[in-house]
Structure 1
Amino acid sequence: MKVLSFLSVIIISLFSFFSCNIKTTRTENNEKELTLVMAEVNPDGTIVAEMDKAFKQKVEELSNGKIKIDLQLGGTLGDEENIMPVIRGENSSIHLMRISAFSLAARGCTKTSLLAIPFTFKNREHFWTFATSDSANTILNEPYEKKLGVKGLFYGEEGFRHFFATKKLSGTSDFEGMKLRITSDKIMKGVAEGLKAEPVSIGFGDLLVALQTGLADSAEQPIANYLANHFHKVAPNMILDGHTLGVTEVIINSNVWDSLSNSQQHILQVAGSYAGEVCRKFSQEAEDKAKAQLIAEGAVFTEVNDLTPWKQACEKIISESSKADPDLYQKILDMAK
């Protein structure tokens, strides 16, 4: 795993060396042409990759090719832990990335952390009602206002996240003592503690090997990503607890954003809204197809008929995390239909 992480850092360093900050030329009418590098940890064919490609296509269409998106899929530039320090830098060679709400929550975005609280969103419709609200824009702007080096552009979702493991899962009691791979944020640590699991921090790019070698027994992902990253090959058991919706954002380096003209910023925002709609329409269909393929390839799904034990296990972290902004959190809850 250390070798893989080291290679990711090397790839990013080489990419930074051979890339100028934003590749620019001048057109005859003196408008600036841009090439913006965009990182995505998931491979082609996933829900978020399709969203990214829709964003790229719409940006290039609306700008008549004057803004190009160099989209790097499949973790080519590293995982989120490797990329975040780069994209937040003053002269970053990576300008855009798709990131989970968990990752921003771990970096001090208290409003964003509300989106990662377990059992916040009842269904996809609830989330998309939020994603098109004024409250959503408030959260997108949070890292920019906190001067964290990035700004949120638009939302997407990967479906609800479920736990999967190398052994059969039937309920919350199965997690006691289990080595559960989690992201580095406080909320997922609280979930692991509530389930009495042993939390282990492993980079996303190293997770498959960790499951193969026993460094991790379990992890959690949306169904489509579970398939696309081949986790079912070594951990074929998934329990459909749906503890968190896979809320995701596309973010941009703050200096890059500030360097854009109003019309260029508008193009990115309009393209982001378009890509979000593509995600909204595509997500459920892609998840259904992925689940059918997983079953055909031997994955075992366990339904959860009663969420009460799961909510009880997460009760402490839900209570603690919602205190970050209780009024905003209640506003999000009230958007459920």
Structure 2
Amino acid sequence: MKKKLVAAIMLGLIAVSAGASVSAADVTLVLAEENAEDSLSGKVANYFKEQVNELTDGAVDIDIQCSKVLGSETEILDGMLAQAGTVDIERITTSRLTNYSCPKTASLGLPYLFESRDHFWAVAESELKDEIFDEISTLGVTGLSFYEEGFRSFFFKDAVTDVADIAGKKIRVADDPIMRGIVEGLGGSPTVISSGELYTSLQSGVVDGAEQPLSPYELNAFYEVAPNVILDEHTLGNAVYIISDLAKSKLTDEQFAAVQEAAQKAQEFNKEQSAQTDEDCMKSLADKGAVFTEVEDKTPYKEAVADVITENTKGIEDFYQAVVDLAK
């Protein structure tokens, strides 16, 4: 009797173990996110993870690695293009693709292009999306969805009220050809510094200012050392989520379709959250001492960076004009 009881218990344990293995993810994909988990992009990444889990019944898991722990955007992209397998999915800023033979995609980061968030989403949801994703596919990755985090503006230690005040200022930029060109066009001195060193660089005077959307500006407490924000809104911060060909090969057709659907759901979540995030940031930043200067006439700014636009739209003039026209 005792032997039968032991056997029954063992069979039960085996059944439980088998059930656990079935419920475990069949595939784990690593998603690299440059920002912190509590940032807007971190929240979008987590929403994407939840949707993938739901749509695949737990068969595909997304392992999110935030705060540059796996490297910068371009370092991660290089690894994905080499099919290194360390990262499967990345959110890559469009302007970072300037040096990757993706001029159409990179042009979405050009200055004073988008008149509003609605303008950007009109592009992302139009037939131009196919041209962008086709261009990206030549690298060995597939575009999944678009992302935006609000307009980027400059902020400084000292008061800056118009374009003339930017001349001679040392301004932190990412290692991004378009952003360097914008700062140079406005008369500033672009200084490449990692985002992790920006707070102390502002504090010590290594740089006079920088530029970001409002959400990371607040999240990183830059208002403490550079409280003067000039709302020139030179670019709309935007990116694309991409998945490597190697990662796609790990998935069944049904699983990849679920990942694509989850990415679209995350895009809608981002679209809903971004505008509200900016509105909340404006209110809380004002309470924390940030001083905002509105730019009523952007004409001097646009004229100063005209060469950046001309240089980066050679050969894609029709595409760029189509993007501009969608504002109408």
TM-score, with normalisation over the residues of structure 1? 0.86
Shift of 1:265: 1.6
Counterpart of 2:76? 83
Shift of 1:269: 1.0
Counterpart of 1:115? 108
Q: Which amino acid aligns with 1:96?
A: I
Matches within 5 A, 1:151-166: 151-166=142-157
Shift of 1:27: 6.9
Q: Which amino acid aligns with 1:123?
A: S
Q: Distance in 2 between matches of 1:81 and 1:205?
A: 16
Please say if 1:176 is aligned against 2:138.
no
Shift of 1:191: 0.9
SS at match of 1:42: coil
Shift of 1:28: 6.0
Shift of 1:283: 0.6
Q: Deviations over 1:110-146 (max 9, x none)?
A: 111110111111101111111111211321332321x
Please say if 1:249 is aligned against 2:240.
yes
Shift of 1:151: 2.8
Q: Deviations over 1:3-38 (max 9, x none)?
A: xxxxxxxxxxxxxxxxxxxxxxx9769x98111111
Query: Is contact 2:95-2:110 (8 Å) kept?
Result: no
Counterpart of 2:187? 196
Shift of 1:81: 4.3
Please say if 1:305 is aligned against 2:309.
no
Counterpart of 2:325? 334
Q: Deviations over 1:164-184 (max 9, x none)?
A: 111111011111111111232
Q: Return 5+ residue gaps in structure 1 as ranges.
A: 1-25
Aligned residues: 309
Q: Distance in 1 between matches of 2:225 and 2:59?
A: 44
Instruction: Look at both structures and tell me which one has the larger radius of gyration over its CA atoms.
Output: 2
Matches within 5 A, 1:236-315: 236-315=227-306
Q: Distance in 2 between matches of 1:28 and 1:158?
A: 38
Q: Distance in 1 between matches of 2:180 and 2:207?
A: 15
Counterpart of 1:7? none
Counterpart of 1:14? none
Query: Is contact 1:142-1:151 (8 Å) kept?
Result: no
TM-score, with normalisation over the residues of structure 2? 0.88
Q: Which amino acid aligns with 2:260?
A: Q
Matches within 5 A, 1:48-67: 48-67=41-60
Q: Which amino acid aligns with 2:228?
A: N
Query: Is contact 1:163-1:218 (8 Å) kept?
Result: yes
Q: Deviations over 1:232-288 (max 9, x none)?
A: 221111110011100111122222124432212211111111001001111110111
Query: Is contact 1:116-1:187 (8 Å) kept?
Result: yes
RMSD: 2.1
Q: Distance in 2 between matches of 1:315 and 1:110?
A: 17
Counterpart of 1:15? none
Identity rate, percent: 37
SS at match of 1:141: helix
Q: Which amino acid aligns with 1:139?
A: I
Q: Distance in 1 between matches of 2:238 and 2:99?
A: 14
Query: Is contact 2:25-2:61 (8 Å) kept?
Result: no
Please say if 1:43 is aligned against 2:36.
yes
Q: Distance in 1 between matches of 2:200 and 2:240?
A: 27
Query: Is contact 1:43-1:228 (8 Å) kept?
Result: no
Q: Distance in 2 between matches of 1:274 and 1:164?
A: 33
Q: Distance in 2 between matches of 1:106 and 1:47?
A: 27
Please say if 1:143 is aligned against 2:136.
yes
Q: Distance in 1 between matches of 2:161 and 2:72?
A: 31
Q: Distance in 2 between matches of 1:61 and 1:141?
A: 28
Q: Distance in 2 between matches of 1:71 and 1:92?
A: 15
Q: Distance in 1 between matches of 2:242 and 2:134?
A: 10
Please say if 1:103 is aligned against 2:100.
no
Q: Distance in 1 between matches of 2:250 and 2:27?
A: 11
Distance 1:32 1:233, change over 3 A: closer
Q: Which amino acid aligns with 1:238?
A: V
Q: Distance in 2 between matches of 1:64 and 1:272?
A: 16
Q: Which amino acid aligns with 2:67?
A: G
Shift of 1:290: 1.2
Structure 1 window deviating more from structure 2 (308-317 vs 227-236): it is 227-236
Distance 1:209 1:99, change over 3 A: farther
Q: Deviations over 1:65-89 (max 9, x none)?
A: 1100111223333332443333333
Query: Is contact 2:103-2:313 (8 Å) kept?
Result: no
Shift of 1:326: 0.8
Counterpart of 2:9? none
